[in-house]
Structure 1
Amino acid sequence: MTDCPSRKRKRVYGTFACDYPDCDRAFSRADHLSRHKRNHDVSRNYRCTWPQCLMTFTRSDIKDKHYKRHLTKSNNYQDTDSFPRLGKTLSPSDLIEWLFHEENSIPYESDVLSHQNGSKGFDFLEVFQLKNHSSQRKLVSESLRDSFITLIPSLGSNIDFSIPKLERALEIYWLIYHPQYPILHRPSFATAESNPLLLLAMIMLGTSLSSCTGKSEDFENPNLMADEIAIPLRWLIFSHGECKPPAKAWVVQSLLLLETYEITSSSRFLHERAYLHHGSKVQLLRRSPVLGGDHSNDEVGKKWIEAESIKRATLMAFYLDTVHATVYGHMIILYAHQIKLSLPCEEELWENENEYPSKVTSPPKFLSTLKKLLHRRKVETGAFGKKILLAGLLTIMFQMQQKDLQLSFLEWNTMKESWKQTISLAIDVWRVDICTKDGCCDTLNSLKFPQEEVEKLPPSLRLDDKRCKFGLYHISQIYMRISHYDYIIYAGAPRRMNVKAGMSQYKGVEARINDWSNSINGGVSVIHAYLFLSEMLLSEDNDDISYSYDPNGDPFLHRRNIIASAVLVIFAYNFSLEGPEANIFDRIQGDYYPDKEDAHLYLRRIKKSLSKHGSFKNLTSSQFHDSTKLHASYLATIPGKNNIVGLLKFFYKAYRNCHWEIGREYSNLFKNCMERCLGRAKITCETMYDTKLL
């Protein structure tokens, strides 16, 4: 056989010279020259994202090789003193370097969340006088009521849609909701000058909060009217001609108020609808610069109000995004490094009914304040600012959790406990140093209301109420150590976010729960759950005083969900470690569920046992943080921690007639856990979503 001529293509060689000035390199291949030319392109700047590394590169492949050397070196080093960022601790500086420098290198389509105040800004406002609209912020005329009915015709036949009740709903909004989320400018607000859709959102919230006023209200069916507004309101806002970039303040404000109601106070349908459309609101903000700049003297007041209003709305959107991710396990959209705004202005300035001062202290930037907090340095801000800073710490937690998932295969696991320690301590610094002496239980840490409104406040919002106002603080320390998915599936939920959890999924959850409950992280989680429920149900000053709990009457709309989560965490921890309280389920007749201790007796006993190992009062932030871990280590010495049938029964009854449909789902889940604690073998709560009101 004769050899066939080779068909292999012959490469054509030539001389490919670099034409960059003073460069004498030449290559035999064009692709090699093209790659070489990237070294001269200064517009390409790839930064190494390794903590404390300042190297930059013009080619991404060289940067990647450099980064891999960091990884190899860190895996080989055992001496943490020789290789400090990657040892057993991750300092706040390393954390900031890792997060903010890496993320800031990512180009966004527009830096629309920046505070673009122009060359002049609002650091020195001229004296200006605004009309005091205190008598007009809840005024509803016949023509205004008619405009509401034009927008939603069915309201015309609703018995509660009368002018006196509409005005009362607005009054309740200003009394209960506004002190928690002051995104509207109360002094200059007038209904006649406001968009009807924003007013409808305020009426919707005020109506739904009528059960929280502490007095008998004149509404026949407030929840029906609130839903009747909420269902079409989202489409009315979206279809309005001003619902486009740049967003008007009223558009964002209306969407925020609607989202709060949908998520916390209505049906599962509206809850899920709010989550699906949450991203639309965020995208609207991303394409809308904050208003501001140079204005004439007669305009400066209104322009400042508009700029501060949209800033506050943006910060609230950021806060709600974080709260819903923490409390409900939703996907987070906004991160701390994207919020390049200053903190809210002083509440005394925002709520001032009269003349504004000639000089105003410019509030600090959010990011710089957040970095101070990570460095455990005290900062000053008002009640709304405190909420935003806590949300900032939580978004960093979420970012690091994502990095855990992304980088676990790259030996990142050694860093996990390190960053958790840094952020967990920063959250305790927030509670002890940023808040006043009573921390999360001090009303003034979470609310700002005018002095003349004090006597009108419901008991749960008054200064002498010492129950927890910042459940988000406790649930953040819990969520850092256990996921919402794990404890709700372990409790017996048949699905989450419409995805069914079969037995294989439950077994995986069960294994994670067992590992968690046998770790210090499990102990710290349940200590915070006990602290929170004790703050809600027991008097701090008198052991003979205990509190009931009605989710329908809770003015802190997210607190009802955080309470439910705390109960489920206590169930998961104790059931996994010690099993059921008793094995008598097969002998139970009817709806009688015997318990060894009621909720208050159980919590008081646990609290007393823990108090033997020290108090949480009058401690520095570091001492408070260490005390939590110390108390967690003593949990094993407390007998009968699984006597939780009485606790579950208390909240099962409390949530059974909740106006909020998800609250009724929790009631069913509490009953499921109660039956398992009495020896029932079946795990899943098949009736969880059977939520008809009794």
Structure 2
Amino acid sequence: MLIDEESKSNNTRTPELSTESPSSPTGEKSYLDANDDESKPKGKLRGRKRTLAGPPYLCQFPDCNKSFQRSEHLSRHKLNHNPKKIFSCSHIGCDKTFVRHDLLLRHLKRHENKIQKQKLTTKPINNSTAPNLFNWLFPETSLISGTDPPTHHNAESYMGHSTENNPLPTVNFLSRTNVNSNHNLMSSYTNTNTNTNPSNNIKFEILIPTLKGHVDFTKLKFEKALKTYWNFFHPRFPMLHRPTFNSTDAPLLLLLSMIILGSKLFMCVDNITCPDDKKLVQPKSLADTISEPLRWLLFASPFFQPPAEVWIIQSLLMLEFYEKHCSSRKLHERSHLHHGTTIQLLRRSPTLGGAPTKINTDTANEETENWCKWIEIESMKRATFMCFYMDAIDAICMGHQMFICSHQIQMTMPVADSVWESNFTQFIRNFKKEERPRQFLIVLRDIMNGKPTKTNSFGKKILLAGLSAILFQIQQRDLQLFFGLDKFTNTISKNWRDLLTAAFAIWRNDVGSSCCSSRTAIDNLNSLGNSSQFSTSDTRCKCIAYHLAHIYMSISHYDIFIVCGAPWRMNVKPSSIHERNAIKRRVMEWSKTRHCEVSVVQCYLSLFEMFLSPQDSTYEYQYDYLPDADLFFRSYMIGYILLVIWGYLYSSDKLKNIDINHEDNNSGYLYLKKMRTQFTLKSEGILLHTWFANPSGAEFYGDLMRWVNVLNDIEGLENIVGLLDMIGKKLASADYTVVREVGKLLLFCKDRTIGCTDKEILEDMYHPD
């Protein structure tokens, strides 16, 4: 049996003598005794005790006869006699002192737990079965009265310190009389979500001195950024509990994370009617100014330690989202470097590292049957799901390494949006109307076995992440058995791509709405009118990662970028011309495979969805694309999809037949229309890009395979110059550095196609403009 170091020291420590003076009139202890109290082990040690071999280390201090089996334990003990620094308790009426900071923090938590217990007026519910967080929704009788306002953290310090141990104080929500008079629970939450404390700007300036003098550093503009966050980011990724969120006392670092995303999204929407005193003049500059130091401020927070506060996780995820999808290459790379840090914090929390329904609050109180405790647990669960989604989708879309496996998500699906967005009076009614969430792995297994399920938009994103994660795990024997694939054991190495393609088709058409529906992006009907991009009449793909998943199961990002002319990819450069040629041969072999044809058809389908009206629409139209105004951050993925098409055409020698003067080379839209028409004609009338048709996932999979079967019969695929020019120029002028690099590479591919250059490597691809 393995015994950790702390257990070892506890097993061999000589009992310490109390130094409390019997004659002391106050009964107070010195900092020596206080330190000993705080360092005593809690609970019972499991396993057999064993004594370490070796001579004991004796304390040489006069009249101290203590001995230790490890030298570091003796060194720690010596601090009691000769402390380097004395830490004092800041609570009124408590004058205890300590020689180590961690002991002070442990002591302060005891004060907090004591206060927390005093707030609890509800008696523990006697339940002999395993705790069920939803039992309290169906009480046999109405019990108890009295409540406390469910406010978020008090921003008592600049780093977002809170005097409470939990993000939301525990309240007795079952009371009907007092709850109805509570404004925060009952009223509209628009103002409480965006109004900031007048003193916050002073604190922001202390945290980030470079904000001083920025043209957008005003209270009204920060509030506008927060409103933009709620209108455009929250509907897609509802991590925060909006009904109880109060921006006046929320942690400052969380507010800054929200302001970063709000500033970026401000660039994506029409703000003609916005008053001048609220209109952000330099939103990109504001977001970059905050994001640069924000990560270090979060790392320096005392709450940045396991188990981390939920707002720390939320802040890190928001910051990472901005760094990866909206910023500079420097911040993009920084986000991936520290992505694992966020995951490690979650692994040391109950949601990803233990029982997801058991949140450790250090209170020894099991009263989780209340609304605010449920909010806290659901918030952490949603933050964990958000991290899982970002981990999987970024791996699919950008080729990053995945850290979280599907089988590690031992949680139920998120509750319905109508429940999550409810205030107290609506909550129980809405919860009873909705089905109870099922286990994530059970739902994922059903999809893998062709059983459709219904979920909300956030749940559908999570399931896509789950399917994507299986790409990295499917060949493991134990996972095959779990997902019901054991019947294909003999041929699993050849068929797993077909099985996953079918599963993705089930996800696309049978789990909620299709990937082009706005309902895939957001479920809240009130948010559909926030932007034309959220409108139900917008037919463009809202989840382009679905198409990219087929590419990722077929070929690596690295091979595609190198063949298209990138000098390196993620700082990995081919060591020689021989290695570069080996990559070309690998892509050439890939271009002859069936799974290559599937991925190429998915590439074309995604471009049809992004730029053309559906084939069954009442009238024909086409979409323009502005990378900096895309609420769904699809620009990098669109560029990569076009690189895959060019890599396929180049490796299969189809570009040798190009007619430079062909009319398709003059217009990207005309090229896409002709290719789509040919796919339909060659497949005997199959319409794959539709809006009103609602085929099942199995039917869609069959139609997709019929398009794949005719890929080699399509004429004029090589006349792609106009499409490369159209998309390449749009991306090359984007604000986001990584997108600009892809745009430059697309234009380089265009030049190679028409013979304007004989170079095969774009040496200045990563050079700043």
**Band the TM-score falls in, shorter-chain normalisation:** 0.7 to 0.9
Quick check: 2:343–2:387 contact (8 Å CA) kept in 1?
yes
**Match 1:444 to one of 519, 533, 552:** 519
**Match 2:744 to one of 668, 679, 693:** 668
Partner of 1:335: 405
**Match 1:462 to one of 527, 535, 544:** 535
1:601 equivalent to 2:666? Answer no
The 1:579/1:454 distance shift into structure 2, 3 A limit, reads closer
Partner of 2:201: 145
SS in 1 for 2:194: coil
Deviations 1:232-263 (A, max 9, x none): 00010011001111111100000000000000
**Match 2:390 to one of 315, 320, 328:** 320
Equivalent position amino acid for 1:172 in 2: T
Partners of 1:450 and 1:153 in 2: how far apart? Answer: 40
Quick check: 2:378–2:414 contact (8 Å CA) kept in 1?
yes
TM-score, with normalisation over the residues of structure 2?
0.69
1:389 equivalent to 2:450? Answer no
1:683 equivalent to 2:760? Answer yes
Deviation at residue 622 of structure 1 after TM alignment: 2.2
The 1:683/1:594 distance shift into structure 2, 3 A limit, reads farther
Deviations 1:197-226 (A, max 9, x none): 000000001001111113346222111110
Deviation at residue 154 of structure 1 after TM alignment: 1.3
Equivalent position amino acid for 2:515 in 1: C
Quick check: 2:133–2:374 contact (8 Å CA) kept in 1?
no
Partner of 2:715: 639
Quick check: 1:160–1:219 contact (8 Å CA) kept in 2?
yes
Deviations 1:79-101 (A, max 9, x none): xxxxxxxxxxxxxxxxxxxxxxx
Partner of 1:77: none
Q: Which runs of 5+ in 1 are unaligned?
A: 1-116, 404-411
Deviation at residue 526 of structure 1 after TM alignment: 1.0
Partner of 1:399: 473
Partner of 1:7: none
Quick check: 2:136–2:370 contact (8 Å CA) kept in 1?
no
Deviations 1:267-320 (A, max 9, x none): 111011111111111010011124657979898221111110000000110110
Partner of 1:34: none
- 1:338-357 equivalence runs, <5 A: 338-355=408-425, 356-357=427-428
Partner of 2:494: 417
Deviation at residue 578 of structure 1 after TM alignment: 3.5
The 1:277/1:402 distance shift into structure 2, 3 A limit, reads farther
Partners of 2:321 and 2:549 in 1: how far apart? Answer: 19
1:283 equivalent to 2:344? Answer yes
Deviation at residue 544 of structure 1 after TM alignment: 3.8
Quick check: 1:580–1:678 contact (8 Å CA) kept in 2?
no
Partner of 1:247: 308
Deviations 1:66-122 (A, max 9, x none): xxxxxxxxxxxxxxxxxxxxxxxxxxxxxxxxxxxxxxxxxxxxxxxxxxx962423
Deviation at residue 450 of structure 1 after TM alignment: 4.9
Deviations 1:371-422 (A, max 9, x none): 111111111211101111111111111123789xxxxxxxx99532211122
Partner of 1:565: 640
Quick check: 1:578–1:642 contact (8 Å CA) kept in 2?
no
Higher alpha-carbon deviation: 133-142 or 300-309: 133-142
1:177 equivalent to 2:233? Answer yes
Partner of 2:50: none
Equivalent position amino acid for 1:261 in 2: Y
Quick check: 1:516–1:522 contact (8 Å CA) kept in 2?
yes
The 1:419/1:490 distance shift into structure 2, 3 A limit, reads same
**Match 1:611 to one of 680, 693, 699:** 680
Deviation at residue 480 of structure 1 after TM alignment: 1.2
Q: CA RMSD in A?
A: 2.5
Deviation at residue 594 of structure 1 after TM alignment: 9.8
Quick check: 1:292–1:303 contact (8 Å CA) kept in 2?
no
Partner of 1:521: 595
**Match 1:626 to one of 702, 707, 718:** 702
Q: Matched residues, percent identical?
A: 36
Deviation at residue 619 of structure 1 after TM alignment: 3.0
Partners of 2:656 and 2:186 in 1: how far apart? Answer: 64
The 1:414/1:139 distance shift into structure 2, 3 A limit, reads same
The 1:444/1:595 distance shift into structure 2, 3 A limit, reads closer
Quick check: 1:599–1:650 contact (8 Å CA) kept in 2?
yes
Partners of 1:574 and 1:504 in 2: how far apart? Answer: 22
Deviation at residue 659 of structure 1 after TM alignment: 1.1
Partners of 1:685 and 1:584 in 2: how far apart? Answer: 24
Larger RCO: 1 or 2 (CA < 8 Å, sep 6+): 1
Deviation at residue 153 of structure 1 after TM alignment: 1.4
- 1:97-176 equivalence runs, <5 A: 119-125=131-137, 128=174, 129=179, 130-132=185-187, 133-176=189-232
TM-score, with normalisation over the residues of structure 1?
0.76
The 1:171/1:432 distance shift into structure 2, 3 A limit, reads same
Higher alpha-carbon deviation: 661-670 or 359-368: 359-368
Quick check: 1:580–1:676 contact (8 Å CA) kept in 2?
no
Quick check: 2:456–2:512 contact (8 Å CA) kept in 1?
no
Partners of 2:650 and 2:711 in 1: how far apart? Answer: 14
SS in 1 for 2:303: coil
SS in 2 for 1:461: coil
Partners of 1:183 and 1:657 in 2: how far apart? Answer: 32
Partners of 2:624 and 2:391 in 1: how far apart? Answer: 30
Quick check: 2:216–2:286 contact (8 Å CA) kept in 1?
yes
1:650 equivalent to 2:726? Answer yes
Partners of 2:730 and 2:768 in 1: how far apart? Answer: 14
**Match 2:264 to one of 205, 208, 217:** 208
SS in 2 for 1:464: coil
Deviation at residue 123 of structure 1 after TM alignment: 4.1
Quick check: 2:405–2:469 contact (8 Å CA) kept in 1?
yes
Partners of 1:345 and 1:153 in 2: how far apart? Answer: 41
Partners of 1:286 and 1:270 in 2: how far apart? Answer: 24
Partner of 1:365: 439
Partner of 1:476: 549
SS in 2 for 1:399: coil
Partner of 2:380: 310
SS in 2 for 1:648: helix
